[in-house]
Amino acid sequence: RLVSDWSSDVCSSDLGRWWNVQAEGVLDGIEHPPLSLRVRITWLKGTEPMDASGVLVRGPEVERGVFRFHDTLPAPADATAARIALETMLPGKGAAAWSEVRIKRSNPPVSRRIKVGTVYLRPRQSTPDRNLDLWCEQIDAAGRLGLDIVCLSEAIRAPGTTASLQELAEPIPGPSTERLAEAAKRNRVWVVAGLYEKSGETLYNTAVLMQRTGRLVGTYRKVHLPREEWQRGFTPGSSFPVFDTELGRIGLMVCYDYFYPEAAISLANHGAEILFAPTWGTTFADAEGRVEGRTVFRVRARDAGVPVVTSVYDGDSLVIDAMGRVKASSEGATGVFWTELDLAAREPLEWVGHWRSIRPRDRQPEAYAR
């Protein structure tokens, strides 16, 4: 329900590309303001919208019956006016109305560009310790490239070895995280890697996140287990933690998790800005009309509205942006593959707008909670 409009003429020859928008108002009786209340700006050329979906302004902040929105947004170069609309979705018996709206020229917001890498490496005729040597060499390569963070694969001590599960599983923190910590610290790079974890008598398939100082920031225990894992005695994890870091808010998945849209969406709902997925496989391109791993990972990025990074043994290791585009791929080669991502970017979908902003607003979890 459109409650009210406010419009401001814009002369593109006189004004800068970036605008600071602030909107305040009062509300009464709206039970869930973050879901119900939004402010949308639509850029006009003459009287015609340049993008029918417009862009959502960040907010609301709500306190004592007052709502506030504020954001810095780019105007198209040939925009001549801006229409700012206050909207409420399913307000019930509640109501909202403007008290003040301001729009003024602004400097562009600070970008949050990070260099993100993934590794393709398939050890053969190896040992668990030799595998760690090989993976640490890849971390060294990421360091030489000046990357901020690099993703290794699932269960990195296992492929190409004849070691038993009991030999591979170890405590976290433990010997393998110590080796990874040394490499991370030596190269000043964040590291994501998969390990088999033994906690008491319980086995987990776990992803670890190592800070560039070598500190273990957090762990994620794989929630979705294929038959081959639960038959071997693995226990599923039960949550999707998100880790606050200097780079942004990081979420982790492991392999089979990516089959389930709930995994990526749960992480995004808890504020993850980028997802890393150590994976055994596969990310082969589509074949025979079937949707294969590469496409599924791309769709997961679109589901969540955030970039997804995966390192695999079967297929190609990938870095995928929030729009679902493959930005880096191993393409059958071994080594480190990387791209630069801006976690502050807000690229809109045509007719929809910035998906990461709109997706949580338009969800109806009560309708499909089960």
**Considering 198, 229, 255, 273, which one is annotated as catalytic?**
255
Note if 154 is an active site residue: yes
Residue pair 344/311 in contact (Cβ under 8 Å)? The answer is: no
Helices (H), 113-235: 128-144, 165-168, 175-187, 227-230
Find tokens 């390990």 and name the residue: 195
**Considering 136, 197, 222, 229, which one is annotated as catalytic?**
222
* Strand 318-320 to 61-63 pairing: unpaired
Note if 93 is an active site residue: no
Note if 222 is an active site residue: yes
**Considering 154, 197, 229, 273, which one is annotated as catalytic?**
154
- How far is the C-alpha of 261 from the C-alpha of 296, rounded, in Å? 9
- How far is the C-alpha of 12 from the C-alpha of 1, rounded, in Å? 31
Buried b (16+ CB within 10 A) or exposed e, 278-291: bbbbebeeeeeeee
- How far is the C-alpha of 187 from the C-alpha of 76, rounded, in Å? 41
Buried b (16+ CB within 10 A) or exposed e, 212-232: bebebbbbbbbbbbeeebeee
CA angle 328, 259, 211 (to 5 degrees): 55
> What type of residue sits at position 157?
R
Catalytic residues: 154, 222, 255
